[in-house]
Amino acid sequence: MIGNKILIIDDQPELRELLSSFLTSLGYETLTAENGQEGLFLLEQWPADLVTVDLQMPVMDGQGFIREAVKRWPDLPIVIVSGIDAVDQAVEALRLGARDFITKPIESFSLVKNTLDKALESAELIRQNRDYQHNLERMVDQRTNELEEIKRQLLFSLGKAAEFRDNETGRHVIRVGKMCGLIGQTMGLGAAAVKTFEEAAPLHDIGKIGISDLILLKPGKLTQDEWNTMKRHCEIGCDILRHHSSLKQSDESLYAHIIKMANSGSELSILELAMVIALCHHERWDGNGYPMRISGANIPLVARIVAVVDVYDALGSERPYKKPFSEEKCQQILIEGSGNHFDPDIIDAFMEIYPEIITIKKDWMD
C-alpha cells in the first residue's frame, strides 16, 4: 500500500536504518524511534498507518508500548519484530493486540513486505467495515427518524380531520397540543414526555369521526339519546387508536388495563398516550365524568391536563352551537370547576402560566 506511513521502533540503529531504507524503497513513508516511549510521542505528532516494534528495549519495552498504543489507537496495526528467544513475549504481545510477528535476524525482506501488506490490508478492511456499519446505522437512524416524522404528521392530520368536523380551521387541536405540552412541563414532565404529549394531545377527539353530523353539528341542545351517542366518541377514539397498538382485547377490562398502563409511570408511545387521552379526557376529578367514571389521581395525568385545556379552548372558540366566551368567563368557569370537574393542581399550573397560554391562543387563532 504505497504512501502509507510506517513507524519503526527498535533500539538497534542498524535495524532501524535497514528497515527504513527497505520500506522507503517500496514507496512507504517512515519514521524511527529507539524505544516505546519515543514511539508514543512520535505517534501523537505523526499518525502512522502501521508500527513495527521490538519487544526488548530500554526505557519502555515493546509490551509496554503495545499496552499503551492499543488504548489510544485501537485500530492501529502493530507488527512485532523481535528475536526468536522472545517467542513467549511475542505470544503475550499478540494477546495484547499486536497483529503479527517477524523474527530477527531478518533473512527474507519479501516476508517483511508480505507481513506488513497483510497487516495494512487487514486494518483497511476493519476500517471499511466500521465505516460501513457506521453509515448503515446512520442510514437506519435517518430512515427511522423519517418514518417517525411521517407517523407524527399522519397522526396530526388525523387529529385535524376529526376537528374539521365542527371547526373549519382545525387550529383547536394545535392549540390544545401546545398548551398541554406547556402545562405538562410545568407539572414536571421531562422533555421527551412533553414532546410526546404535545404530539398525542391533538388526537383527543379523534372519536368524533364516528359521530353523525346530525348530532355533532346540531345547533340546539342534544336529547338524552343524542348525548349518550356523543359521549361514545371517547371509546370510539380509543378503539381507533387501539387498532394500531399491541392491545387487542375489546371489552371493559381493556379500558381498565389502558388506565393502569397510563398510571404505571412507564414511557408510552405517541399512539399509546393518544389512546389514553382519547379514552379519559372527559373524566372528572369528582368521578362524575365519562366513560369510566374514575376520579382523582386515578385519572391519568395527561387526561386531566387535556380536560382543562380542551374545556378552556372550547369555551373561548366559536362552534355551530355556541358563541365564544370572554377570557374572564373562561377563567371563571375553570376556577369554579377546580376540585370537582378539574384537578386543582392543574388549574393552579394553568393560572401560573396563563400569559403563555394566551400567547399560544393568539398565535394559533382561528
For the annotated catalytic residues, the residue numbers are 208
For cell 387541536, name the residue: 173
Radius of gyration of the chain (CA): 35
Q: For residue 115, what is its C-alpha cell?
A: 507481513
Write b or e for each residue in 124-151: b if 16 or more Cβ atoms lie within 10 A of its Cβ, otherwise e. eeeeeeeeeeeeeeeeeeeeeeeeeeee
For residue 82, give the nearest of 70, 68, 65 by alpha carbon. Answer: 65
Nearest-angstrom CA–CA distance, 347 and 350:
5
Helix (H, G, I), strand (E, B) or coil at 70: helix
Residue 287 Ramachandran class (φ > 0 left, ψ -120 to 50 alpha, else beta): left
> What is the total residue count of the chain?
366
Helix (H, G, I), strand (E, B) or coil at 140: helix
| Residue 51 amino acid letter | V
Residue partners of 358: CB distance under 8 A and separation at least 6: 327
Residue partners of 258: CB distance under 8 A and separation at least 6: 238, 242, 247, 275, 276, 279
Helix (H, G, I), strand (E, B) or coil at 324: coil
Q: For residue 72, what is its C-alpha cell?
A: 489510544
How many other C-beta atoms lie within 10 A of the C-beta of residue 48?
22
